Amino acid sequence: MNSETLIDTTVGLVLSGGGVKGMAHIGLLKALEHRGIYPNQISGVSAGALVGGLYADGASIEEMLIFFKETPLLKYNFVTLNKPGLFDTDKYLPFFEDFFTAHRFEELDKRLVVVATNLMKGEPVYFEKGALFGPLLASAALPPVFSPVSIDGQLFADGGIMNNFPVEPLVGACDIIIGCYASSMKEVGKGQVKSAFQISQRANLLMLHANSMDKLYIPDLLIVPEELGNIKVLDKKGIDKAFILGYDHANWKLDEWLH
């Protein structure tokens, strides 16, 4: 396998959730770009959906990092008392409207599939047509931190609840599938799960991990930067570190795979 053989093939990219750890996806995109490999189709969830959306919209590596650095995560005046969640997810909509060129899936440069969880029906939903921002916001609305998003009268939340590694839409549609799994975790001590919030975050991570394990063998190439376990899911200080870890690990794996 070499990068020249991938030029005329359909390359699919599956991007997991992982919060700030998902910046490793941008590192992978940079490593692919350096080798002249440009995925045609992206299936993403949560942070992976946001990265995939920006990529499909034509954003550069630098612009993607700027988006995540400038978009507030836990902003005090986004706190809500009227919705089920600590922060009102709808308050993030203006950041998407300002940053994205496309407002609908059909306007993107590449095929994008976004996974969100229908809380009312208890099932994953795969969006790839129609309005773009609702599914993107919903896919990343990790409970109980962010409130669910209403789409067509249904409430949607983080797609990772049901499918944190949405490779299914790419199977049979792509010649090559490359995956990046950023929800890596490490064993923690008893003192690291002291508060209700910490317990909730740990439970969420275990849930995301459990619904992905049986599918990580499907991609032709899988990127799993283990060091991401040291980065907190919602700690924006980890953005650059996660990006570099993803880039370095992807370079190593791509060199091994292509040669």
Residues noted as catalytic: 46, 158
Spatial distance between the Cα atoms of 124 and 127, rounded to a whole number of angstroms: 10
Would you mind telling me the total number of residues written for the chain in this entry?
A: 259
Spatial distance between the Cα atoms of 12 and 141, rounded to a whole number of angstroms: 24
Q: What is the largest CA-CA distance in the chain?
A: 55
Alpha helices in the chain (DSSP H): 23-34, 47-56, 61-70, 93-99, 133-139, 196-210, 239-258
Three-state DSSP state, 107 = helix
Query: Mutual orientation of helices 23-34 and 47-56 as an angle, nearest 10°?
Result: 40
User: In one letter, which amino acid is 217?
Assistant: Y
Kindly state the tokens that stand for 57.
């919209």
Spatial distance between the Cα atoms of 206 and 15, rounded to a whole number of angstroms: 18
Q: What radius of gyration do the chain's Cα atoms show?
A: 17
Kindly state the tokens that stand for 117.
């969880």
